[in-house]
Structure 1
């Protein structure tokens, strides 16, 4: 007899408390259930059930076997569901976490195209600059920029962005242009207030030396677009990702502060929980993002 069927018959008898109810649950005859259980006991060489005229209960060995058997049966059921799910159209609620700047400027404008292509998916996108715990906070995936801190998550690279130190021509005309990193101490820097190290810029000198700059300015704000607007207005120098400032640079609204510095490049990734199976809705959205950003970055935005 089939080993899995024997296991299912035994586990169902334990779950239902008897052969009659187990037979109804499985949709087979009571004698067939009894044969499956007897065959299992014979193969294992152990009595798994105590049988009386009034009740059926697992023996000590039977109870231990039941725990493992139920796990195997649950896994088998999940495997069947997996195949069905992978062949079905992507659907359901997709919860996404993304940093505010990237979400507003580059995800929000393309979500409509994604939802038109996959009408059975609904999206809940949370814009937040803090680091979220995907599994414990109930997110299906996140878009993250820079070095990935949690190596247990699966990741797929979407594109890259650079970071640019920029200021308005009017600012440089009034305050002069810094020629090297140390000159930034005499300038007004515009900082992120929401980042733990927002007031510290990590820069690389032409020599390759890693430097940190901490200088106050007129403005700290928890929004990159506001920092860009402040830089365009001539309020100071900002250090921003190219996905925010590339257009302003191209239009001449801002200029690079120290063009000779090595350019910092950061990856932009879709990250999602580990496991061999990726939900169709998650896979569909990641594939969509890979296609959407194929011609973007690191400075083409």
Structure 2
């Protein structure tokens, strides 16, 4: 007889407290349930159930076997559900958290083609500049910039970016060009106002030394495009990711403030909570984004 069926019959008898109710639960005859239990006890060489006229109770060995049998049956059920899920077409609500600047400038342009390809998926995208707790806040996945240190997340690299200090040629003509990090203290610096530690730029000197530059004063904005616009207008130096400034630099609207500084590359990742399997809707979006952003960065935007 099938071993899983024997386990299921035994567990159902324990749950229901008798053969009659177990047979009704399983949709088979009482004699069939009895045969499954007899075969199981014969194979194991021990009695698993104490039978009385009123009730059936597991023996001490039977109770231990019951606990393990439940795990096996649950795992088998999850395996069946996994196959069913993976064979199904991607569908349902997909909630995604995205860094604001990347979402506005790059993710928004690929949403239409994705929904055309997967019409049964409904996208809900939340733009913010904080690391949301995906599971507790109800998000299926997120797109994050920088190292992913959370061991509870699965991450897939989509692209790369770098950050540079940029300003307009008119600004450099009026205020001069900083030659080294210390010179930034004499310049007008623009910064994000919505990020933790927003008043500090963390830079790497040509020697490899890690430096911090305070940027309080001047102008603070909680939007990267607005900072880029301010830099283009000659209001100061902004420290921005390459996916924002690349086009403006190619058009000569901004220039690298200190070109000799090392280029630090940061990954752009799609992340989702770890689990036994990836939901089809999540996998579909991650596969789509991987194809769309292949070869992007760190300055090729």
TM-score norm. by structure 2 comes to 0.94
Q: How far did 1:288 drift?
A: 0.3
Alignment of 1:109 onto 2:115: no
Whether 2:259 is the aligned partner of 1:255: answer no
After the TM superposition, which residues 32-111 of structure 1 pair with which residues of structure 2 at under 5 Å, given as runs?
32-111=32-111
2:144 paired residue number: 144
State how far apart, in whole Å, the 2-side matches of 1:114 and 1:278 are. 18
Where does residue 14 of structure 1 map in the other structure? 14
Secondary structure at 2:97 match in 1? strand
Matched, 1:5 2:12: no
Q: TM-score, normalised by structure 1?
A: 0.94
| Mapped partners of 2:66, 2:223: distance in 1 | 56
Which residues of 2 match residues 1-301 of structure 1 at below 5 A?
1-301=1-301
Shift of 1:79: 0.3
Name the CA distance, whole Å, in 2 between partners of 1:272 and 1:90: 16
Bigger Cα displacement from structure 2, 41-50 vs 70-79: 41-50
Distance 1:193 1:65 in 2: 60
Gaps of 5+ in 2: none
Q: How many residues were matched structurally?
A: 301
Q: Deviations over 1:233-271 (max 9, x none)?
A: 222111000111111112222221112222221111111
CA shift, 1:276, in A, is: 4.6
Q: What secondary structure is seen at the aligned counterpart in 2 of 1:172?
A: helix
**C-alpha RMSD of matched pairs (Å):** 1.7
User: Contact 1:159–1:297 at 8 Å: present in 2 too?
Assistant: yes
Which SS does the other structure have where 1:197 is aligned? coil
Q: Deviations over 1:19-53 (max 9, x none)?
A: 22222222221101111112222333433333222
Residue 297 of structure 1, CA deviation: 1.4
* Mapped contact 1:188–1:216 kept (Cα < 8 A): no
- Contact in 2 for aligned 1:217/1:236 (Cα 8 Å): no
Which structure 1 residue ranges, 5 or more long, are not aligned?
none
SS in 2 for 1:177: coil
Secondary structure at the aligned position of 2:266 is classed as: strand
